[in-house]
Homo-oligomer: A and B are copies of this chain.
Amino acid sequence: MKAVILLSGGLDSCTVLYQALAEGCECYTISFDYQQRHRRELHSALAIAQKANVIQHQVVSFDLRQWGGSALTDDSIDLPTGRSLEEMSQNIPVTYVPARNTIFLSFALAYAETIKAERIYIGVNALDYSGYPDCRPDYIKAMQEVFRLGTKQGLEGKPVKIVTPLLYLKKAEIIQLGNRLGVPWELTWSCYAGGDVACGVCDSCRLRLAAFAELGLKDPLPYAQNSN
């Protein structure tokens, strides 16, 4: 079965790719260059796609800096650093990018319908979701309805199915799953800061480091700072 996998290059999306491969899917990966602060993740995505020997890897480019509105697409908004996991979960953070997953899923849908894929895999997570509205189960259900009603495949009774293997897993459980699947953590990239080495203090680094620490495991990536 053909599947499109949204591959950011991070820990979650890489695990999802390996899950899709384990389920026997023919995997087509898609990454997005939206002029994000951490465009370095695109190199990781490509390296992972090559390592996993996917059938095709597509990069879609557009510029969300043209209106900004997020710390990831506007350098004048500072990245939050040094926040506790509790602080992270309380509000929608400034790293929220308006409509990002909706844009990503729309392109994945266009790609899937063109190659006649049956599934789209996305690594959204409702537990450690850092307050992002477009990672919640209700949102994914609404997008599934859009897939059913707004496409040719949907009208023909075979809408592309959105698959979310990580939706109800905690970050540490995702790492355990990835370990079972043989995910190459050393190729992944989570840091928001855009440097050559992961910063270790942005929300994304802290969530990742805390999860490895919780399991008593060492994250193979080097970090500029590591408070765990």
Contacts and interface: CB of A to CB of B under 8 A. Distances in A.
Given A61-B62, A133-B155, A109 B99 contact: yes
Interface string A49-78: 000000000101111101111000000000
A98 B105 CA distance: 12
Interface stretch (A15-23, A80-88, A139-147, A183-191): A139-147
A150 to B, nearest CB: 4
A101 B109 CA distance: 11
Interface string A83-110: 0000000001000111111110011011
B150 A99 contact: yes
Main secondary structure of the interface of A (DSSP, over half): helix
B67 A102 contact: no
Interface in A127-169: 133-134, 136, 138-139, 142-143, 145-146, 148-152, 154-155
B114 A98 contact: yes
A115 interface: yes
A222 to B, nearest CB: 34
A67 B152 contact: no
A223 interface: no
A203 interface: no
- Oligomer: number of copies: 2
Interface centre among A101, A115, A133 (most CB of B within 10 A): A133
Contacts of A109: 98-99, 102
A113 interface: yes
Contact of A139 (B92, B136, B143, B149): B149
Given A67-B115, A136-B149, 9 more contacts: A62-B107, A96-B152, A98-B113, A98-B114, A99-B109, A102-B106, A102-B110, A103-B110, A142-B149
Interface of A: 58, 60-64, 66-69, 92, 96-103, 106-107, 109-111, 113-115, 133-134, 136, 138-139, 142-143, 145-146, 148-152, 154-155
18 contacts: A62-B107, A67-B115, A69-B110, A92-B152, A96-B152, A98-B151, A99-B107, A99-B110, A99-B151, A102-B106, A103-B110, A133-B149, A133-B150, A134-B151, A138-B149, A139-B149, A145-B145, A146-B146
